[in-house]
Amino acid sequence: MSFSNPAPDQAADTNWRLFLWFRLLFSCRYYYPVLAILFLDLGLTATEYTLLNVVWASASLLSDIPAGVLADRFGRKPLLVAAGVCMVMEMGLLCAAPRNGGIILFLFCLANRLLSGLSEGLASGADEALVYDSLAERGRSGQWHQVLEQVTRWQSAGMVFAMLVGGAVYAPGFMNGVLSMLGFHPHLNQGITLRFPVYLTFISALGVLMLALKFQEPKRRHSLAPEDPEGHRASSMKGAFSFVMAAGGWLLSNPIALFVVVAGLLLDSSVRLFLTFSSSYFRLIGIPEALFGLLGAVMAGIGFFVSPWARRMIATRTVGHSFTIIALLVLLGLSGVALHLRYWGVFFAFPLGAAMTLIGFTVSYYLNTLVDSHHRATVLSFKGFAFNLAYGGVSLLFALVLQHLQGASTGEVLGKAFALLPIWLFLIWSGLLIAFRKHSRLITQKLAS
């Protein structure tokens, strides 16, 4: 498949193909199945690692909305190139971070998390906008749903592959066994193999940057940009700020939409916090490290089976009932995790993986149904901002809890902290129901699709 020098009438198809590969390489990171233990094995404490997640979320949320404004004013491609540069730099830092390097290690990892969050924020929405504009210029905007279907399918397959490979190359026993079968006997240890997933992701980052440079910027159509009540266009700085404020006001004044966002972020942050520490949990319950990638692949592929259930759920249930079902599923998973049963506790991670697919599907469906097209992109950017803010806040709270818990090892401290997660979910969900009790009739009625 070649992307070089496409003819003008092929620009839309070229951007389409580039988009598939860009999303695939950008999202499929080989260190995901061992994310927590990678940083811990490098020499960070659990508290430091949790604080770094707060940094990542902060960098992502603070760059999300400004990146959208920059993409509208100066073009989408520069944002994608910048995202590729940040990804190369973040992985380069992780490749070079000194193991057990104290404050130097922490600074390397801090810069890595900052660049990672910034990369996420820069790419968020800019890639979709570029490809959609390319199709619209050729009168093919009706094909957008085909693009999204292909991207979802490619990303799911890519995540399964990355999880399997990343988990396998991290385990020295597995790597020594494979190399022995090939006639090599290097006797690799954890200090060497722990960076193998990072090296693979660094290669992917180089691919992301190369793809970003090959995108073709579609023609800008400022004349079609909507105006706010004061006459500012969305592509101007004043217009962008005005649209952000208008979208925020609409969200706060619409109780159903506000419930969807708040319920979604409460559930998402609780599940994402666990998933951030999933590899540490697997190690805690005695799962061999060579299986981490397989478990990550199963959790990544679970969306294939959950998506039909999600469609049926929103078609037959009300907003409140749909989120209550998801909340119960999350509570089941976190309660099982709190027990940290040896070996068998792995099964409680699967409901949490399913819940992540359900949360994303349900929030996206209801928000797009509720909001008008004039404010859709801005409201969705608010949703992303709110979700990252909630995740950062919960991670900071979790770090404070870890700091005050006592234990003989990091695993023992994490085990105690995991036991608090279902209690946390029960309290915040109860608070949500109390806060929205005045709007219970709206929340428990079906939306017209």
SS3 assignment for the chain: CCCCCCCHHHHHHHHHHHHHHHHHHHHCCCCHHHHHHHHHHHCCCHHHHHHHHHHHHHHHHHHHHHHHHHHHHHCHHHHHHHHHHHHHHHHHHHHHCCCCCCHHHHHHHHHHHHHHHHHHHHHCCHHHHHHHHHHHHCCCHHHHHHHHHHHHHHHHHHHHHHHHHHHHHHCHHHHHHHHHHCCCCCCCCHHHHCCHHHHHHHHHHHHHHHHHHHCCCCCCCHHHCCECCCCCECCCHHHHHHHHHHHHHHHHHCHHHHHHHHHHHHHHHHHHHHHHCHHHHHHHCCCCHHHHHHHHHHHHHCHHHHHHHHHHHHHHCCHHHHHHHHHHHHHHHHHHHHHCCCCHHHHHHHHHHHHHHHHHHHHHHHHHHHCCCCCHHHHHHHHHHHHHHHHHHHHHHHHHHHHHCCCCCHHHHHHHHHCCHHHHHHHHHHHHHHHCHHHHHHHCCCCCC
Structural contact between residues 140 and 10, judged by C-beta atoms closer than 8 angstroms = no
List of residues 6+ apart from 307 with CB closer than 8 A: 357, 361
Q: What is the mean pLDDT of residues 268-282?
A: 88
Structural contact between residues 333 and 278, judged by C-beta atoms closer than 8 angstroms = no
The answer on pLDDT for 231 being more than 50 is no
Same domain, 210 and 311: no
The answer on pLDDT for 417 being more than 70 is yes
Q: Does residue 229 sit within a domain?
A: no
Q: What is the mean pLDDT of the chain?
A: 81
Of residues 440 and 147, more confidently modeled: 440
The answer on pLDDT for 418 being more than 60 is yes
Q: What is the mean pLDDT of residues 106-114?
A: 94
377: closest CA among 263, 234, 264, 237?
A: 234
Residue that terminates a domain, selected from 170, 188, 217 = 217
Same domain, 196 and 170: yes
Q: Does residue 324 sit within a domain?
A: yes
Tokens of 65: 């909305």
Same domain, 48 and 153: yes
Least confident span in 102-106, 242-246, 257-261, 281-285: 242-246
Same domain, 198 and 258: no
* CA pair distance 188, 117, nearest whole angstrom: 32
Q: Produce one character per residue of 364-397: b if its CB has 16 or more CB atoms within 10 Å, e if not.
A: ebbbeebbeeebebbbbbbbbbbbbbbbbebbbe
* CA pair distance 294, 96, nearest whole angstrom: 27
- Determine phi and psi for 227, rounding to 5 degrees: -110, 150
Model pLDDT for residues 114-153, shown as the tens digit of each residue: 999 999 888 876 777 777 778 777 777 666 656 666 776 7
Same domain, 335 and 444: yes
- Determine phi and psi for 233, rounding to 5 degrees: -85, 155
* CA pair distance 253, 261, nearest whole angstrom: 13
Same domain, 195 and 312: no
Same domain, 248 and 187: no
Q: Does residue 84 sit within a domain?
A: yes
CATH of the domain at 420: 1.20.1250.20
207: closest CA among 19, 16, 22, 2?
A: 22
* CA pair distance 348, 343, nearest whole angstrom: 11
Same domain, 204 and 261: no
Model pLDDT for residues 283-342, shown as the tens digit of each residue: 888 888 778 778 877 887 777 677 778 778 877 888 889 999 999 999 999 999 999 889
* CA pair distance 437, 34, nearest whole angstrom: 41
Instruction: Give residue 236's pLDDT band: very low, low, confident or very high (50, 70, 90).
Output: low
pLDDT of residue 447: 67
Q: Does residue 225 sit within a domain?
A: no
Same domain, 186 and 294: no
Model pLDDT for residues 57-103, shown as the tens digit of each residue: 788 878 877 776 677 667 778 889 999 999 999 999 999 999 998 99
Q: Does residue 223 sit within a domain?
A: no
Q: What is the mean pLDDT of residues 358-366?
A: 79
Tokens of 146: 């085909």
Structural contact between residues 389 and 254, judged by C-beta atoms closer than 8 angstroms = no
pLDDT of residue 214: 92
Residue that terminates a domain, selected from 217, 245, 273 = 217
Structural contact between residues 389 and 63, judged by C-beta atoms closer than 8 angstroms = no
Q: What is the mean pLDDT of residues 215-235?
A: 55
The boundaries of the domain holding residue 335 are: 234-449
pLDDT of residue 239: 61
The three-point CA angle 218-153-139 to 5° equals 30
375: closest CA among 228, 188, 192?
A: 228
Tally the residues of the chain: 449
* CA pair distance 364, 390, nearest whole angstrom: 17
Same domain, 204 and 244: no
The answer on pLDDT for 222 being more than 60 is no
Number of domains forming the structure of the chain: 2
pLDDT of residue 334: 94
The answer on pLDDT for 234 being more than 60 is no
Q: Looking at this protein, which amino acid is placed at residue 341?
A: L
* CA pair distance 164, 98, nearest whole angstrom: 26
- Determine phi and psi for 195, rounding to 5 degrees: -95, -5
Same domain, 199 and 340: no
Model pLDDT for residues 367-400, shown as the tens digit of each residue: 767 766 455 556 767 777 788 788 888 888 888 8
pLDDT of residue 107: 95
Same domain, 193 and 312: no
Residue that terminates a domain, selected from 170, 191, 217 = 217
The rounded Cα 83 to chain-centroid distance in angstroms is 15
